[in-house]
Structure 1
Amino acid sequence: MKIIVMRHGEAAHEAGRDDLRPLTDKGRKQSIRMAEWVAEQLPRIDRVLVSPFLRAQQTWEAIQACLPAPAQIEDVHDLVPYGRSEVVTDYLRALDDEYVLIISHLPLVGYIVNDLCANAVPPMFVTSGMAGVTLVDGKGRLDWLEGPHTVR
């Protein structure tokens, strides 16, 4: 399985609640840039798992036109900033999908990579940053970690 773990794009700080923080224009543009870059590596997407928080939902809305149409899209309540990574990684290990995209938050995105890849230190993700993980027989390998400032 190929898993793309993405942190949402840059979000505004002014909101009544954390889950209602919207993407900024910069966050939208950087997320699209990353989606255009990663699309070259994805012949298809079997499943998209998205946090229910507004900024993650808006990240998905911004990038979906750049990517292959997914077979399934799921709002996953465990993908919130302080969700339990083991719940997410157990779910991933149970899937039969070949290509999965996850859109979530710090610190969870780093913990997901760490839980999947035993030898990986939880990476720091910039906004709109992505990590590519290959999962074989339940064991993950971190293939790459990129952000809008590192892709061409």
Structure 2
Amino acid sequence: MELLIVRHAIAEEPETWVPRDDDLRPLTDDGKKKMKEAAKGLQSLVPKLDVLASSPLTRAMQTAAILAKVYEKPEPLSVDSLAPGQHPPAFAEWLRTQAARKVVAVVGHEPSLGTIISWLTAGIEQSFFELGKGGACLLTLGERIDAGEAMMEWALRPSQLRALG
């Protein structure tokens, strides 16, 4: 399985969003524009997705919707284990339900994504990796979807993805 991990695009700043619910914080217009360009770059590297999932938070779902449009996929699945504060084993449990899929794409948040990447590649539940907003990485997994079982193929900044698009 290939696992494409994407951090949500540029969103409204938390400080300007208060006192509204942070879960509802949306992407900025610039974030949407840049993500559309980055998604085209992603598609040049990963031409097809079998499933697209996202954290249920607005900014992640909006990012996933942009990917869905570029990849001509239906609405992304909302996956609670991609929400901030969740632990990698919970995400791995969901990922195992997708084991028959060749390419799984997920959209989420930092530091949770960095922790998932660290856990899947090195087996530690402490983040040593951080994706920029709109950045992505590709992991490959064999039959075992568990701690320390993945290999990172590449990781790219959003500007690099846009340059590919």
In the superposition, the TM-score normalised over structure 1's length comes to 0.89
Q: Equivalent residue for 1:10?
A: 10
What is the CA-CA distance between 1:60 and the residue it aligns to?
A: 1.6
Alignment check: 8 A CA contact 2:39 2:66 kept: no
Q: CA offsets, 1:36-80, max 9 Å, x none?
A: 01112334211111111010111122232211426x832011211
Matches within 5 A, 1:2-81: 2-13=2-13, 14-15=16-17, 16-69=20-73, 73-81=76-84
Correspondence 1:98 to 2:95: no
RMSD (CA atoms)? 1.9
Q: Flag structure 2 segments of 5+ consecutive residues without an equivalent.
A: none
Q: Flag structure 1 segments of 5+ consecutive residues without an equivalent.
A: none
In the superposition, the TM-score normalised over structure 2's length comes to 0.82
Q: Equivalent residue for 2:91?
A: 88
Question: In the aligned structure 2, how far is the partner of 1:30 from the partner of 1:147?
Answer: 12
What is the CA-CA distance between 1:149 and the residue it aligns to?
A: 2.0
Q: CA offsets, 1:70-122, max 9 Å, x none?
A: 6x832011211211121102322342111000000011111111121127963
Q: Percent identity?
A: 27
Between the two proteins, the alignment pairs up a number of residues equal to 151
Structure number having the greater helix percentage:
2
The aligned amino acid for 1:116 is L
Question: In the aligned structure 2, how far is the partner of 1:106 from the partner of 1:37?
Answer: 21
The structure having more radius of gyration, on CA atoms, is: 2
